[in-house]
């Protein structure tokens, strides 16, 4: 049998129902795995082991005759630290300000617990969730379980690393520019950026159309399972009045019209990432989809200007003021973000940003006027270096030295146009041992099609956890 901590959620639920595995046995296996891997991976900022073991024992009773197990009953779930849990600290991953106690729990976490999921740990992020990395002066460096010299990305990097390391079965993250999808790509796991409003978010955060709370898992099916629990209207989020998408009718991809683009516009993409993207597209062709390679005339500068028109706001100003009061405390990449944000606010006003966003969106509309889905790389680079701030060092991708390492991410377009559902799914492996990934985007609010295509890619290419391939539990050790 697969190691208990690498079971899929679907398989664990089957074993629970058959009474061939108990939730308490699974939780103990996950906790023991974390004790072995956490010193090297550093995915957790807080563990809730005693609570988790009590909840697992209660879940075990629900699987006895006459019990009433819920959809996620007994499954270990890791929560990104910036998702509040009432009474527990929120830190923003920073030493610049004291932690504060959350007054209420994030809506999606409340729903996970109501469905029987067990929140057993909270995961690392970047400082203020402002960059696609997961190291901070507060928590240290979160490393990629597949290659400990590589970063796992971010800002939901701890959740992705935990899934890859086998220290959670399901996980949650947030995404305001790719923070679910980028770490999923580097960790070889699956993430879903839902359309804005699909998964409700507490105010005032939920008022930002770039913001999304979403699920992460090791398989597409498990990601769908968690998403089905997280979605649905809540009166505290005025954007959440969308009908819940029906993800049960999976179907195949025969006859679907799928576009792919291995190198959108002038975005830099490594040759290994391009090859993996083509392999994903060809796997869909073999499954009966109608595949066409297209050019997408996106320009990196145009996308960046639209982004900074949005991000050059109060967070950047706040960080600079905190740094003025406490110099040398903030992470270098955070300070660089803040300076760039304030500078951009003087150069790109919101009206210009809206014009740029409309132009980018018009090209997406043209694609989805002809196609049911679009496949493209998630991140153009094969890795970021663990612990590297990229303030003095430049990242080079495909021979191109980037102005900023975040320019390697191809995710922000779908935050600028946040109604598109996007599934990030593994596409293969780079020669450095780090997974690669693709994004599967569908027309606005068409979650089902995005998941259908992602399922087909996974069926053809497998997952990072298929067969005997596993991350090592610690640097220099043999695979688990």
Give catalytic residues, as residue numbers.
80, 155, 179
Report the distance separating Cα 51 and Cα 167, nearest Å. Answer: 16
Judge contact between 214 and 193, C-beta under 8 A.
yes
Distances (CA, A) of 32 to 38, 379, 479: 10, 32, 16
Kindly compute the dihedral angle of the four CA atoms of residues 378, 379, 383, 389, in this order, to the nearest 10 degrees. -130
Q: Looking at residue 4, what DSSP letter applies?
A: G
Output the CA angle 285-288-294, nearest 5 degrees: 40
- DSSP output for 7-37: --HHHHHHHHHHTSS-HHHHHHHHHHHHHHH
- Residue whose C-alpha is closest to residue 10's, from 251, 220, 249, 229: 220
Distances (CA, A) of 154 to 51, 83, 142: 27, 15, 10
Report the distance separating Cα 215 and Cα 226, nearest Å. Answer: 6
Per DSSP (E only), the strands in 94-139 are 100-101, 118-123, 135-136
Q: Looking at residue 128, what DSSP letter applies?
A: G
Q: What distance, in Å, lies between the first and last C-alpha atoms of the chain?
A: 14
Kindly compute the dihedral angle of the four CA atoms of residues 194, 199, 200, 205, in this order, to the nearest 10 degrees. -30
Alpha-helical (H) ranges within 269-392 are 271-286, 300-311, 314-325, 332-347, 350-368
Task: Give the pairing type, strands 76-80 and 170-175.
Answer: parallel
Report the distance separating Cα 350 and Cα 209, nearest Å. Answer: 14
């Amino acid at each position: 049998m697969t190691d208990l901590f690498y079971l899929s959620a679907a398989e664990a639920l089957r074993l629970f129902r058959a009474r061939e595995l108990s939730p308490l046995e699974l939780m103990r296996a996950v906790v023991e795995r974390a004790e072995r891997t956490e010193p090297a991976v550093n995915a957790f900022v807080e563990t809730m082991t005693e609570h988790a073991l009590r909840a697992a024992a209660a879940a075990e009773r629900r699987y006895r005759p006459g019990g009433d197990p819920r959809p996620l009953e007994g499954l270990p779930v890791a929560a990104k630290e910036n998702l509040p849990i009432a009474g527990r600290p929120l830190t923003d991953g920073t030493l610049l300000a004291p932690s504060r106690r959350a007054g209420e729990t994030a809506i999606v976490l409340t729903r996970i617990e109501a469905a029987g999921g067990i929140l057993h740990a909270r995961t690392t992020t970047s400082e203020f969730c402002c960059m696609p990395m997961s190291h901070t002066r507060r928590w240290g460096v979160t490393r990629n379980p597949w290659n400990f010299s590589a970063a796992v990305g971010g800002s939901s990097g701890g959740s992705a690393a935990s899934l890859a390391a086998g220290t959670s079965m399901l996980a949650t993250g947030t995404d305001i520019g790719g923070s679910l999808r980028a770490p999923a790509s580097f960790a070889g796991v699956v993430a879903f950026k839902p359309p804005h409003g699909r998964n409700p978010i507490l105010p005032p955060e939920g008022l930002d159309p770039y913001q999304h709370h979403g699920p992460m898992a090791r398989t597409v099916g498990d990601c769908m399972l968690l998403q089905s629990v997280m979605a649905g209207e809540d009166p505290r989020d005025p954007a959440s009045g969308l009908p819940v998408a029906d993800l049960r009718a999976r179907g195949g991809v025969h006859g679907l019209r799928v576009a792919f683009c291995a190198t959108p516009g002038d975005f830099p993409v490594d040759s290994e990432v391009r090859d993996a993207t083509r392999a994903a597209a060809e796997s869909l062709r073999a499954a009966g989809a109608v595949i066409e390679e297209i050019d997408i005339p996106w320009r990196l500068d145009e996308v960046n200007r639209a982004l900074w028109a949005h991000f050059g706001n109060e967070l950047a100003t706040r960080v600079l003021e905190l740094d003025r009061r406490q110099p040398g405390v903030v992470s270098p990449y955070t300070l660089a973000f803040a300076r760039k944000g304030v500078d951009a606010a003087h150069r790109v006003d919101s009206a210009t940003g809206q014009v740029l966003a409309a132009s980018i969106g018009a090209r997406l509309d043209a694609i989805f006027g002809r196609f049911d889905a679009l496949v493209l790389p998630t991140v153009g680079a094969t890795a970021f270096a663990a612990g590297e701030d990229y303030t003095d060092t430049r990242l080079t991708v495909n021979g191109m030295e980037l102005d900023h390492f975040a320019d390697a991410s191809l995710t922000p377009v779908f935050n600028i146009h946040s109604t598109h559902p996007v599934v990030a799914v593994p596409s293969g492996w780079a020669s450095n041992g780090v997974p690669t990934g693709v994004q599967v985007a569908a027309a606005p609010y068409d979650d089902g099609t995005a998941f259908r295509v992602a399922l087909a890619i996974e069926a053809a290419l497998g997952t990072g956890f298929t067969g005997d391939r596993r991350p090592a539990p610690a640097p220099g050790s043999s695979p688990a």
